Amino acid sequence: AQTVTQSQPEMSVQEAETVTLSCTYDTSENNYYLFWYKQPPSRQMILVIRQEAYKQQNATENRFSVNFQKAAKSFSLKISDSQLGDTAMYFCAFMIRGGYQKVTFGIGTKLQVIP
């Protein structure tokens, strides 16, 4: 079974600063995806960024980037130039590639961007 661990229940960052959210996971699989989803107060689940495990290059999406360390089973999210709209719960998630695989979520990190 796969597990996803987020050890930071809450974090805060000043507007325009950079923040890093941590995530570790455990799996015996070799072919999988990792995701960061954002859940604002509206509670909608929004995909922020995706990483394929077979790719060594870290994924980036505008102000969002990841540090994927496959051997260490670590997948952190860096948010640069934080904006007030980044205030949300952030969930790290895992999915085995292929088939009808489900997504396994971490417990989440609540990020507050302070003006």
Closest CA to 104 of 44, 45, 25: 25
Nearer Cβ to other proteins (79/106): 106
47 binds other proteins (CB under 8 A): yes
Looking at residue 3, its amino acid is T
Give the whole-angstrom CA distance, residue 85 versus residue 101: 31
56 binds other proteins (CB under 8 A): no
104 binds other proteins (CB under 8 A): yes
Interface pick for other proteins out of 35, 36, 90, 94 (rule CB under 8 A): 35
> What minimum distance in Å lies between the beta carbon of 29 and other proteins?
13
76 binds other proteins (CB under 8 A): no
Binding mask 77-96 for other proteins (x = CB under 8 A): --------------x---x-
Q: What are phi and psi of 40, to 5 degrees?
A: -70, 180
Give the whole-angstrom CA distance, residue 104 versus residue 100: 13
Q: Cβ(37)–Cβ(103) under 8 Å? A: no
103 binds other proteins (CB under 8 A): yes
- The three-class DSSP label of residue 85 is helix
Positions in the binding site for other proteins (CB under 8 A): 33, 35, 37, 42-47, 50, 91, 95, 97-108
